[in-house]
Structures are given as C-alpha cells and as structure tokens.
Chains A and B, each alone.
Chain A
Amino acid sequence: MPAVSFQQVAKTYAGARGSFRALDQVTFDIPQGEFFGLLGPNGAGKTTLISILAGLTRPSGGRVKVMDFDVQRDAAAARKVLGVVPQELVFDPFFTVREALRIQSGYFGVRHNEAWITELLDHLGLADKADTNMRQLSGGMKRRVLLAQALVHRPPVIVLDEPTAGVDVELRQTLWAFIARLNREGHTVLLTTHYLEEAEALCQRIGVLKQGKLVALDRTTNLLAATSSTMLRFKTDQTLPEALASQARVTGRIVQLKARDAADVERLLSALRLANVRIEDLEIGRADLEDVFLEIMQAASPQAAQFQPTAGLLAEAAA
C-alpha cells in the first residue's frame, strides 16, 4: 500500500471568463517512507494538489488516498494519518505556543500529549517560547510552530508546502535536519519547494508539475543522469555573442552553458575566445536539478500531453 496515491486527479475552477483547469489527470504514488519532492513553477498546481490531498479542496475528478483512506469518502481517517504544514504563515492570535499545540492535539483526539509536545518544542528550539503568545513570535518561530502543529498527532505522512519560503539559512538547516530525521524514522514526506538544491539534497524522487499536468516523475538521480551531463559555468562582464547568448542561462555575472560532451566544451570555449569574451572562475561540472528543471519546462510545451518520456522521465507516471 502506497502512503499517498493520486489517481487521475483533476480540478477545474469555474471563472467569469470560462473555466480554468488547475489539475489535469495527475496520477502517481508515493511509497511509504519516501522523501518525495513536488516541483513546478508558480501556478503549476502544486498547492491545489496538496489541498486536495489534505481535504481542503474537493477534486473535480479522480481519487486521492492516504494510507489507503480515501480523502473524500473516509475523510476523518485520512486526515488523522496526515500532517500538513500550510504555505501561509497562519496562527491563532488568542493563544500561546503550548496552548496552540494542545488544542491541535485535542482536535485529533490525542489527549495527555504533554511529553510529545515538550519534545517537539525542544527539537524545534521553541522551549523558551512555550508560554509566549503566538502574536509575539517572529516569522521564523511561527514557521516552527506550524511544523510542530502538523506533527502533534504523530502522523505517518507529512506534507510540507514550501516550508522554507522566506526562512533564513540557519532555520532552514534546522528544519531540514529535523524533517530528514523524521524521514529516517519512517515518516513519508511530501515536499513542495522552489529551492531546487533543497529538493536535490533531500528528495529520493521528484515529480514536476506544469500547467496542471505531471510532466516528469523519476528518482532524483535518474533525472540528473537523464539530462546533458556537463555544465560550463563562468563569470563575465561582457555580452555574449548571439549564438551563445541564446543557449546560455545568465544570472547577474554568472553564465551557464550546457555542453553535451568534452568536444562540445571545446567548441564553446573557442567560440568565447573568438568573440573576445574575457571569462573568470571557469568551472566545468555536472548539471544540477535546476538545469534539469529548466530543460523539462522547455521540453514540456503547453500541449504537454505530447511530452515524450525520455530516459526514465515519466516512466513511473503510467504505473
């Protein structure tokens, strides 16, 4: 039994100017114990998919199960095995941190949960804030409380919707260490994020959504292997010649060019030399998930249905 199962999930919103299809026949499973990453640009349908999983939104079609409980027909049982960290930094201004956790625990029917609440507070660095009102906490602290609230009933499946958006580096490290530990202890984790290096470091498998469709689904290592293997990175203050500029990814002074093989590296370097482009800090390395992501996004045209799985992409989507 998979921890999470999406079967042909569809969601259409009726609007003033026709209907909008937020999700289109999304099908995939997440096995128990997996750390799964859901990627996609803004508006791709990640949050809609998670909202359907959490029972916050109803699907227009298809079925979603958590630990074999249908999220619509067996909603209470499904919600009990799910811990969700919402994307928005929400809190109840009437209560202290400990009160908020006790209340959340009570909603799930877990009473006398003090030991676990205290443990959560300790692990998330909230012990000295336990009796502070939620209003007085910083954004980062509120984010930690959201995580604690999601875990207070010890759910086997944890869903994190962009948990590190707007979080400083130190807290991000703390959060990941904690979530990685939960995953090692057997919890299934479903994560959406914009930080691709995070997904690359943490997720065993990755799914990519684009315009409501699942356009890639594979093990992170396969995704990385499936792409062109070499990236040329350097810094320059000059403009690139047209032929190179069209295939380059430029971030400020940093330029990245994709190379198919060693000969291609040669070709790119001589092209730069010919154009008299002065380069600094040249690196030749493997493509990272960001490159893969961009490649997938470019390959998956608006008519993504025609997207052909290459070297493992989508291989499991049909399963």
Chain B
Amino acid sequence: MMISLAGARTLFFKELLRFWKVGFQTVAAPVLTAMMYLLIFGHVLQGRVEVFPGVGYTSFLVPGLVMMSVLQNAFANSSSSLVQSKITGNLVFLLLSPLSHWAWFTAYVGASVVRGLAVGTGVFLVTVWFAPPAFAQPLWILVFALLGAGMLGALGLIAGLWADKFDQMSAFQNFIIMPMTFLSGVFYSVHSLPAFWLQASHLNPFFYMIDGFRCGFFGTSDVSPWLSLTVVGSSFLLVSALALHLLKIGYKLRP
C-alpha cells in the first residue's frame, strides 16, 4: 500500500508538471477565452438583462464563466494527457509499473482538479475587475468547484481511455462536453427558458454544478443547493465508479 501511495503521488506530480510546463496553453489561454466571453456578453447585455434581482448581468456571468472554465479544463487535462500518451506510446511506462487502478484514478483526477481550479482562479482574478464579487455562502463555492472538477476529470479519464485518436477525443469534447456546459445556464437563468428546455435543463447534471456554484456567490439559485449537491455528488460517484472499473479491467489498455 505504501508503494501504491508513493507511486500515485509520483503520477499526480507528473501530471501537474505536464500541464504546468505548457501553462501558457493550458492555463493562460482558457483564462483569456473566459475574459473574452465576459467582455462581449457583459458589454452587450449589461443593463438589459437582470437575472437575479439586484444582480447586474456581468456579476451574474462571472461565477458561470469561472465554473465553465473549471469544468472544461478539468476534462481537457485527463483526457488529452491519456490520449497523447496512448498515441505517442509512452503510456507503456505507466502500464509496466505496478500502479493500481486507484493510483491511476486519484492521480489523473487529482491533477485535473488542480488544473480546473487553477484556471477557475485565474478567470476569477481577471474578471473581478469587471464585476466585484460577493461570497454569500463560500462553502458551496468550494464544494461545487471540487465535485464538478472531480467529475469532469473522471469523465475525461473515461473519454481518454475510450478514444484511440485525437478526432474521437475532440468529438467527445465538442459534441458532449461543450453543449452540456453551454446549455447549463452559464449565460442565463434556466427560468428564462421555454417550458420544454427548462425541463431538459433539469436533466443536465452540468446545470446543477453551475447553479450550486453560483448559489455560493449570490445566495440565490434556480434550485435548492442541496438538490444540486445530491445530483452532482451522485453523478461524481457514478462516473468515478465507471472510470475505476474501466481502469481495473484494463479497458483498451491491456488487450
């Protein structure tokens, strides 16, 4: 067990070092993207839309953008690291090692959480200038950021195991992750949607992540944060269980 801990720690730090060495691309670029969203949507919609009473649109947008960045980058980290290692063949170094499936899981998901939070913090710091934040219930902020990043890190792990090439990976990212984050209420409250889309949004676990996270800032949300916690928590457990199972059976790793 001691070996496994030291091994997992090595893999975790290796994964951190991997994205940190290309930090311009993995941290700075997404921060810039989020700032663009804020500048454009904030500029166009500020003063025209008021989602929560007394909260300006730009302020409303900030937590959503932060969370979207956390989620997308947590996903990108584990998935692209795995696919890259598979394609270049250097995953063999890991496959030859005695690391357990738990070690793989904690290291890949842990590094994804760190990258997600690093980008989220970056987005928050630059957007703070445009809209001063409030921290109504900071514990929710932390809980949803961690659970959301963890779930997307695990989802990225699954996608990385499944994908054999980069275009399969980007299909996963562009056709599943992107629509689900965009349709989760980052830019609007789901209550402003027609009835059908409002119902549909309630089936999207990403909606609960954003809503719960935003609740931490404003103290108001579309649904109760406890409901969001239940949905996000159980989604995290479900996705993690699947990722662990795939690692354990060596899915597409040990044919």
Contacts and interface: CB of A to CB of B under 8 A. Distances in A.
Q: Do A and B come from one complex?
A: yes
Interface stretch (A87-95, A203-211, A293-301, A308-316): A87-95
B7 A106 contact: yes
Interface stretch (B40-48, B61-69, B86-94, B111-119): B86-94
A253 to B, nearest CB: 40
Contact of B90 (A54, A79, A91, A111): A91
B181 to A, nearest CB: 27
Interface in B75-99: 85, 88-90, 92-99
A17 to B, nearest CB: 18
Contacts of B6: 106, 109, 111
A193 B97 CA distance: 24
B98 A108 contact: yes
Nearest to B92: A86
A55 B89 contact: no
B2 A58 contact: no
Contact of A90 (B21, B89, B255): B89
Interface in A113-158: 149
Given A92-B93, A94-B21, A76 B10 contact: no
B195 interface: no
Interface string B1-33: 011101101110110011001100000000000
A117 to B, nearest CB: 14
Interface in B145-192: none
Given A58-B254, A106-B7, A109-B7, A79 B97 contact: yes
A134 to B, nearest CB: 9
A104 B92 CA distance: 11
A57 B250 CA distance: 9
A76 B7 CA distance: 12
Contacts of A75: 98
B7 A90 contact: no
Chain B contact surface mostly: helix
A82 B13 CA distance: 24
Interface string B227-255: 00000000000000000000000100011
A254 interface: no
A33 B65 CA distance: 61
B98 A109 contact: yes
A57 B96 CA distance: 11
Size band of the interface chain A makes with B: 20 to 34
Given A58-B250, A103-B14, A84 B96 contact: yes
B100 A76 contact: yes
Contact of A92 (B4, B90, B97, B255): B90
Contact of B10 (A56, A84, A86, A103): A103
Most chain B CB atoms below 10 A, which of A55, A58, A92, A99: A92
A90 B250 contact: no
A106 B88 CA distance: 21
A80 interface: yes
B98 A76 contact: yes
Nearest to A54: B96
Contacts of A57: 254-255
B100 to A, nearest CB: 7
A94 B7 CA distance: 19
Most chain B CB atoms below 10 A, which of A55, A82, A86, A106: A106
Given A56-B96, A108-B97, A108-B98, A93 B88 contact: yes
Nearest to A83: B96
A58 B94 CA distance: 16
A80 B98 CA distance: 6
20 contacts: A54-B96, A55-B254, A57-B254, A57-B255, A75-B98, A86-B89, A90-B89, A90-B90, A90-B92, A104-B93, A106-B9, A106-B13, A107-B94, A107-B97, A107-B98, A107-B99, A108-B97, A108-B98, A109-B7, A149-B93
Interface of A: 54-58, 75-77, 79-80, 82, 84, 86, 88, 90-95, 99, 103-109, 111, 149
Nearest 6 CB-CB pairings of A with B: A106-B10, A109-B3, A107-B97, A76-B98, A90-B89, A79-B98
